[in-house]
């Protein structure tokens, strides 16, 4: 029997508690070894401790180095910054990893299987913004700056290539906009190319300009394997990739860092359907699957993935977003029946 693995569990806001209940039931059912330390963040953090990211939650992740995090609502106004951004900075979660694979059979594409490595700490997400005078209006012009560092460009590129080697992936595409952002994107491209050369003979690689890449992803999605790119481009392209395979309902994400790894669904807290048992727990469940892989339980991760894919393809008790009339717990039961 696998020994227990301490992990932090953050149910989160909106649909978070519902999908967490379903996901933990499935993980328990399959005998996953996680010993949960349940903590709060987001609006639930404010309710529990008066702040969106309570110190207890940070301390728990620092101890376990492993977390499954439900979606968090970022309160509008009141000077709160995104809790997801705070977590990335706090634990130096430099790599946002989003795998995208065709699951639904009635989607537009049959053979999508790509993994996007998005740099998670720099680029335009620095969002150093301000006003400038323009035509007599002191706020007539706005600016926003970002930065990239050689170190992060190399670290995220190396992570993508190491992943390719470890998972038998054939090719890494470096995505940039160096033709216009000659310094910001140009340096990323240069450093990434330099790292890529170390893998010559083991992993193929190419580089693509982000706008052309977006078009090619839609026209020939099966030409992509692993993509590595900067923060904002990665954000946009990974949602595009999710769209190729039927939307955010099945898209998980991992945030990997030096000091911790946090797993999640790509979607948000879906306040429009919260509390109605309409939420599809599969993306969050696939996030838990990435967590199983992260701790080396690849067999369990594969078993879980297969149960999800079979359930979704059979449309067995699935939620409305997957074309069914089931609910959060009924799809969870269908998945458990297959495990
Ligand atoms: P959202 O992803 O929550 O919802 C977009 C649409 O997709 C909604 O119609 C929703 O009902 C639907 N949807 C999302 N997840 C679903 C699921 N599992 N099953 C079925 N339908 C689902 O995006 P939003 O409405 O822009 O954001 C809501 C809140 O979530 C905001 O406060 C935002 O800041 C936050 N958010 C958090 C994260 C995160 O914590 N990782 C990510 C994105 C947005």
pLDDT digits (tens, 9 = 90+) for 254-270: 999 988 999 999 999 99
Task: Supply the residue whose CA is at minimum distance from atom 11 of ligand 1.
Answer: 270
pLDDT of amino acid 284: 97
Active-site residue among 37, 225, 235, 321? 235
Q: Are 251 and 55 in contact (CB under 8 A)?
A: no
Q: Record the tokens describing residue 98, joined without a space.
A: 């989003």
Closest residue by Cα to atom 20, ligand 1, is 279
pLDDT, residue 259, reads 84
Residues framing ligand 1 (Cβ under 6 A): 15, 71-74, 84, 248-249, 264, 267-273, 279-280, 283, 321
Is 278 one of the annotated active-site residues of the chain? no
Which atom of ligand 1 is the closest one to the Cα of 84? 40
Q: Which atom of ligand 1 is nearest to the CA of 83?
A: 40
For residue 2, pLDDT over 80 is answered with no
Does the structure show a pLDDT above 70 at 101?
yes
Give the single-character DSSP code of 297.
-
Between the CA of 203 and the centroid of ligand 1 the distance, in Å, is 35
- Three-state secondary structure along 221-280? HHHCCEEEECHHHHHHHHHHHHHHCCCHHHCEEEEECCCCEEEEECCCCCCCCCCCCCCC
State in Å: Cα 28 to ligand 1 middle. 26
DSSP three-state, residue 173: strand
What is the extent of the structural domain holding 32?
Answer: 1-94+248-339
Catalytic residue selected from 137, 211, 259, 337: 211
Residue 257 lies in a domain: yes
Q: Do the Cβ atoms of 252 and 266 come closer than 8 Å?
A: yes
- Tell me, yes or no, whether 211 lies in a domain: no
Mean pLDDT for 224-242 is 96
pLDDT tens digits, one per residue of 239-250: 999 989 877 878
List C-alpha distances in Å: 95 to 10, 132, 253: 20, 34, 10
Percent of the chain with pLDDT over 90: 84
pLDDT, residue 77, reads: 64
Number of domains in the chain: 1
Band (103; pLDDT cuts 50, 70, 90): confident
pLDDT at 255: 97
Position with higher pLDDT, 80 vs 309: 309
Q: Give the mean model confidence (pLDDT) for residues 83-105.
A: 90
Instruction: For residue 110, name the pLDDT band (cuts at 50, 70, 90).
Output: confident
Say if residue 108's pLDDT is above 80: no
CA dihedral (305, 170, 265, 38) positive or negative: positive
272 is an active site residue: no
Residue 111 is assigned to a structural domain of this protein:
no
Q: Supply φ then ψ for residue 13, to 5 degrees.
A: -110, 175
Residue 96 has pLDDT above 70, yes or no: yes
* 173-219: pLDDT as tens digits: 999 999 999 999 999 999 999 999 999 999 999 999 999 999 999 99
Taking 90 as the threshold, does the pLDDT of residue 74 lie above it?
A: no
Is 198 part of any domain? no
127 falls within a domain: no
Supply the residue whose CA is at minimum distance from atom 42 of ligand 1: 268
Look up the CATH number of the domain holding residue 67. 3.40.718.10
Q: Domain for residue 100, yes or no?
A: no
Name the catalytic one among 124, 125, 163, 199: 125
**209 inside domain:** no
**Residue 197 domain-assigned (yes or no):** no
Mean pLDDT of 30-39: 97
């Amino acid at each position: 029997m696998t020994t227990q693995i301490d992990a932090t569990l953050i149910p989160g806001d909106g649909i978070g508690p519902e999908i967490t209940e379903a996901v933990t039931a499935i993980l328990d059912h399959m005998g996953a070894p996680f010993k949960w330390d349940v903590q709060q963040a987001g609006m639930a953090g404010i309710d529990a401790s008066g702040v969106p990211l309570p110190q207890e939650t940070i301390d728990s992740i620092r101890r376990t180095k492993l977390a499954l995090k439900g979606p968090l609502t970022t309160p509008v106004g009141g000077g709160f910054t995104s809790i997801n951004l705070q977590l990335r900075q706090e634990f130096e979660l430099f790599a946002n990893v989003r795998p995208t694979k065709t699951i639904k059979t009635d989607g537009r594409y049959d053979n999508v299987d790509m993994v996007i490595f998005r740099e998670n700490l720099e680029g335009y997400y620095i969002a150093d913004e301000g006003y400038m005078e323009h035509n007599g209006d002191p706020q007539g012009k706005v600016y926003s700056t970002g930065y990239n560092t050689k170190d992060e460009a190399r670290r995220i590129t190396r992570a993508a290539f190491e992943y390719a080697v470890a998972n038998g992936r054939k090719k890494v595409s470096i995505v940039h906009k160096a033709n216009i952002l000659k310094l910001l994107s140009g340096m990323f491209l240069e450093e990434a190319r330099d790292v890529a050369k170390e893998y010559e003979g083991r992993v193929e690689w190419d580089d693509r300009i982000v706008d052309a890449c977006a078009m090619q992803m839609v026209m020939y999605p099966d030409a992509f394997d692993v993509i590595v790119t900067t923060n904002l481009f990665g954000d946009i392209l990974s949602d595009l990739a999710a769209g190729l395979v039927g939307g955010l309902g099945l898209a998980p994400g991992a945030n990997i860092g030096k000091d911790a790894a946090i797993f999640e669904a790509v979607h948000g807290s879906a306040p429009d359907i919260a509390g109605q048992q309409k939420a599809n727990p599969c993306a969050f469940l696939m996030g838990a699957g990435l967590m199983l892989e992260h701790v080396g339980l690849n067999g369990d991760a594969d078993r879980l993935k297969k149960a999800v894919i079979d359930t979704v393809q059979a449309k067995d008790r699935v939620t409305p977003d997957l074309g069914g009339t089931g609910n959060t717990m009924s799809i969870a039961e269908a998945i458990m029946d297959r495990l």
